[in-house]
Amino acid sequence: MYLQYGNMTLEPAIVKYLEKHDGRWPSSWDDLQPYYKDLLLPVHTTRFIRKYYSIAWDVDLYEIYEKNKEPPADGAISNYKDDLCTVVYRHSREGPGDDKRRWILTPRIHQFIHDRAKQTPAPR
C-alpha cells in the first residue's frame, strides 16, 4: 500500500511544510512528520512511509527549478533510466543514487515553486 500510494500523501505534506515555512525545504523526516498523515493509521507518523520512499534533503529546490522550468510529467515519481531522479523517490525503483544524479522536482512541488516565483518580485 505505501509503495503504491505513498506519494499521494507524502507530496502534499511536503507542500504544506513549504507553505508554512516560507518555501524552505525540510531537512529531515522529523521536520515533515507533523504535516504527514499516515495512509492507514489516523496519526501523523512517517515511520512506515520512510521504509519505501526517500527524500533528497540536501537539495536546493529553487536551483533545480531554475535549471528546468518545464513541469515534470505526471508520472514523475516513476523510475528514470538515466541519471534523473525526483527529489522524492521510491527506494525499490531508484535506490540511493550517487553524486552524478540530476534532481528534478515532482509535479506538486514544481507547481508550488512556480507559483511562488510568480509572486516574488524580481530583485532590483
DSSP secondary structure string, 30-72?
HHHGGG---SSSSS---TTGGGTEEE-TT--HHHHHHH--SPP
Residue 80 binned pLDDT confidence (cut-offs 50, 70, 90): low
> Which pLDDT score is estimated for 124?
47
Residues spanned by the domain of 33: 1-119
- Grid coordinates representing 105 are 522536482
Contact 26, 120 (CB under 8 A): no
2 falls within a domain: yes
67 falls within a domain: yes
124 falls within a domain: no
| Structural domains counted in the chain | 1
64 falls within a domain: yes
pLDDT tens string 41-63: 777 888 888 888 888 999 999 99
Side-chain-facing half-sphere of 73: CA atoms under 13 Å = 8
104 falls within a domain: yes
